[in-house]
Amino acid sequence: MHIKTLILIIINSLIALVIALLSFSSYQQFSNVLNNRILLQLNSIKTLKQNQIEHVLKSEWERFETSEVYSQNIDTTVLKLPDSIKNKSGIYDLTAYHVDKKTTIGFISNSKRGTMIKVFDYNKIKQILLERTGMGDSGESYLVGTDFRMRSQSRFYPNKTPYSILVKTKGVTNALKGINSKSIFKDYRGVDVYSVNSLIAVKNLKMVILSEIDVNEVTLPLKELKERLLGLTLAIFLLAVMLSLFLTRIISNPIKNMQKSLRIMAEGDYNQTNEFIKNSKEIKEMFDALANLKASLQGAVKFSDDIGKMNLHTNFKPKSSNDQLGKSLLAMRDKLIEFRNNEENTRILSKRMLVNGMEDERRRLSRELHDGVGPYLTSLKHYIENRVKNELKKAEMKKIVDDTISEIRLMSNALMPASIDDFGIGVTLTNFIESLKKSTTVTIEYEDLTQQENSNITNHQAINLFRISQELINNSLKHADAKNIRITLSEFDEFISLFYFDDGIGFDINTVKLGLGIINIKERVEICNGTITIHATPGNTTFEIELPIEL
Amino acid sequence: MNKIKLIIADDHELFRKGLAELLRKHDDIKIVKSVADGIEFMQLINSPFEADIVLLDITMPNMDGFQVLKELKTLNSDIKPIVISMHNDGNYIAKCAKMGAYGYLLKNTDEAELILAIRSVNNGKKYFSAEISEKMINFMSTQSISENILSNKETEVLGLISKGLTTKEIAAKLFVSSRTIETHRANILKKLEVKNTAELIKKATKMNLV
């Protein structure tokens, strides 16, 4: 389920519940109050009328009793009284005996002087009953006889004889039992009414007085209230829905955006630069956290990218001690550095072995020429000295042999001077340069500052320094058009420094194509764990080579 | 007349034979023994054996000519060594001369010179031909061994420091790297037991080094 729907449902059902509860309770309260008010009002009206009626009857009765006029002042054509009634004095409801069943209340007095009968003027009661102040449109007060027939004119059936209307309602029944009830009953029309009632009992007269008002009329404002409440409820509900829609948008939009961002990130793209509306502190913090996450992932991605390109000296700091990704990447980098170092070592080692093998071979060849072929040639010379008698031929042959020996010496020295093994690099370079001076016009000055005794330069370093010097001099003579070459070889406690200078035309270090010369020199420096610095400007080309003293 | 008693020490048999044949023509020279390496030679002279001169090769297996020269010097032997070698570099010659060789010959030396050398040495003289001497002197002239506290280079550097040149300027002037000058400077400070340049110049002036 979407978070939007969820929030909508929760908020709105809550609001709806509250409104419904409030409306219901206020409506209930209001209707209760109204009921009570109405019933109280009806009751007071009824009581007033009851009192008035009783008072009228009583005062009429007293007047009748004290009256001196003995007459049976009744129209016997309409009123047919049975004798049994005449025997007892009192007030009677004589309606049942009236021919037209017109409501008739009669006073009967039985004394020594005879029977007195008087029909009470019903209009007096009628006036009381017709007084309808505070009864609204549908209110009425009426009387009912003990036979449950109406005694006063109904407002609703003005053309019907009251006696013909049967009022067997709960109110009447209660009243006849002597219970003054006030409640909502159905009246004689079958309509719900607020009804209060009580029994009027004066002398022998028993009648029930009821004051009633239609529920419909009373509850009209209640209905209006109900409608208004409904309308209000609806309006509030609509407002609530709109508000909650707005609210959910505030909450769910950032969440949706975040979801989108996270999805993009999950696909491996950490470079998205979507701007989001941050409408609250929490959401701002959430996006800051997302930005942090993104930054850290971007850092990790960049770092792993660098690692992938073997830029192993890239700096990277894990975001925290819990940054497993960062830590793994670091571990990976360290492993790669280790691998690369191992590879580098292996590479240098194999190169060194290759160079050493080559130099050993050169040495062997050089010695073979110098100490093998050389002595044979000297033996040949001895032979010539001993055996050739012709002096001219002898001299000629001796010269050829001597020249050959010289050539052998040159070849041997070029391959690998024996001095390197017997005297070290300092002296060997001295010899080498001395022999060069004979064949070139370039001024070569060499300064040997190595230790004569107890030199710490290894044979391996010596050979490589010699080869480097050979190569450098060769380059200067062949390509640089130099007039002067200065070489200084210094030995210190910590390092050996070979400084080479020429005043030739120089070269571009990056595009130099002196055969493989420079590359070879660099390689030889590398396999000796040394460093080389090259400055090449016209008139001032220098090579600074440093090798460590390895004890 | 006593014959010159000669030992030949060389690892090449053919060479020994050729040389012996050459020398046999000269009545005043007698080859008393031929040995193939230094050890054999040392065994020989440690036994009661008489010889005047040894023609000594440098490059030999087991024990080379340099070691033999050293042993002879230690033993204070009467046998006078003449080095006969294929090496014609000044450093070999200088080393042999320093180690007590009475002469230095190249293996392809002409017969006449060989005989001259043997006879000269036998007369108690040293024999280094003009060519050999030149090579030796050329080599020795490049060697700058200083008897002072400071090496020649260090004295030179000190002089430039006292003139107020910077390390870079000195390096450029002396055709060395800046680090070389720095190291020289540090070594000078250490040798003169001073801590900084001001003290250095003070002490150097006092010692008449600059």
- For residues A425 and A461, the answer to whether their CB atoms sit within 8 Å is yes
What is the average per-residue pLDDT within A417-438?
89
Answer yes or no: is pLDDT of A67 > 80: no
A458-467 per-residue burial string, b: 16 or more CB within 10 A, e: under 16: bebbbbbbbb
Residue that is written with structure tokens 């400007």 in the block: A537
Residues of A in contact with B12 (CB under 8 A): 375-376, 379
Which segment of A22-26, A242-246, A274-278 scores lowest on mean pLDDT?
A274-278
Q: Which one is predicted more confidently, A321 or B195?
A: B195
Across the interface, do B180 and A490 touch by the CB < 8 Å criterion? yes
Select the residue from B24, B180, B188 to test the A interface by mutation, using most A Cβ atoms within 10 A: B180
Select the residue from A369, A370, A371 to test the B interface by mutation, using most B Cβ atoms within 10 A: A371
Answer yes or no: is pLDDT of A456 > 80: yes
Identity of residue A429:
L
ipTM over 0.95: no
Across the interface, do A431 and B89 touch by the CB < 8 Å criterion? yes
Which pLDDT does position A513 carry in this prediction?
Answer: 66
Across the interface, do B187 and A492 touch by the CB < 8 Å criterion? yes
Measured between CA atoms, the residue of chain B closest to residue A543 is: B177
Interface check for B175 against chain A (CB to CB < 8 A): the answer is yes
Neighbouring CB atoms inside 10 A of A404's CB total: 16
Q: Cα(A520)–Cα(A548) distance, rounded to whole angstroms?
A: 19
pLDDT digits (tens, 9 = 90+) for A75-118: 777 777 777 777 777 888 888 888 888 888 888 877 776 777 88
- For residues A93 and A146, the answer to whether their CB atoms sit within 8 Å is yes
Give the pair of three-digit tokens for residue A447. Answer: 């300064």
Q: How far is CA A296 from CA A259, A303, A334, in A?
A: 18, 10, 20
- For residues A421 and A459, the answer to whether their CB atoms sit within 8 Å is yes
- For residues A91 and A202, the answer to whether their CB atoms sit within 8 Å is yes
Which pLDDT does position A286 carry in this prediction?
Answer: 80
Sequence-ordered strand ranges (E) for B36-174:
53-56, 80-85, 103-106, 127-128
Torsional sign, CA A364, A365, A369, A370? negative
Which pLDDT does position A276 carry in this prediction?
Answer: 65
Q: Which one is predicted more confidently, B174 or A218?
A: B174
Interface check for B86 against chain A (CB to CB < 8 A): the answer is yes
Give the 3-state secondary structure of A326-364: HHHHHHHHHHHHHHHHHHHHHHHHHHHHHHHHHHHHHHH
Which pLDDT does position B34 carry in this prediction?
Answer: 92
pLDDT digits (tens, 9 = 90+) for B27-42: 899 999 999 999 999 9
Query: Which H or E run includes B35?
Result: strand B29-35
Identity of residue B207:
M
Instruction: Name residues 9-28 of chain B within 8 A of A (Cβ).
Output: 10, 12, 14-15, 17-19, 21-22, 25
Helix residue ranges, H only, A103-219:
122-130, 170-176, 215-218
Across the interface, do A447 and B175 touch by the CB < 8 Å criterion? yes
Q: Cα(A208)–Cα(A147) distance, rounded to whole angstroms?
A: 10
- For residues A492 and B187, the answer to whether their CB atoms sit within 8 Å is yes
Across the interface, do B153 and A490 touch by the CB < 8 Å criterion? yes
pLDDT digits (tens, 9 = 90+) for A344-401: 889 889 998 999 999 999 999 999 898 888 888 988 988 898 888 899 999 999 999 9
Residue that is written with structure tokens 């032997």 in the block: B77
The CB-side HSE value for B81 (13 A sphere, CA atoms) comes to 30
Give the minimum alpha-carbon distance from A499 to chain B in angstroms, rounded to a whole number. 5
Answer yes or no: is pLDDT of B86 > 80: yes
Give the minimum alpha-carbon distance from B56 to chain A in angstroms, rounded to a whole number. 14
Neighbouring CB atoms inside 10 A of A526's CB total: 17
Neighbouring CB atoms inside 10 A of A302's CB total: 13
- For residues A51 and A43, the answer to whether their CB atoms sit within 8 Å is no
> In whole angstroms, what separates CA B185 from the centre of its chain?
31
Q: How far is CA A85 from CA A80, A158, A418, A433, A527, in A?
A: 11, 31, 176, 176, 154
Composition of chain A by helix, strand, coil, percent to 5:
55, 15, 25
Counting residues of chain A whose pLDDT is more than 90, the rounded percentage is 18
> In whole angstroms, what separates CA B156 from the centre of its chain?
27
Counting residues of chain B whose pLDDT is more than 70, the rounded percentage is 98
Q: Cα(A186)–Cα(A168) distance, rounded to whole angstroms?
A: 10
Which pLDDT does position B146 carry in this prediction?
Answer: 63
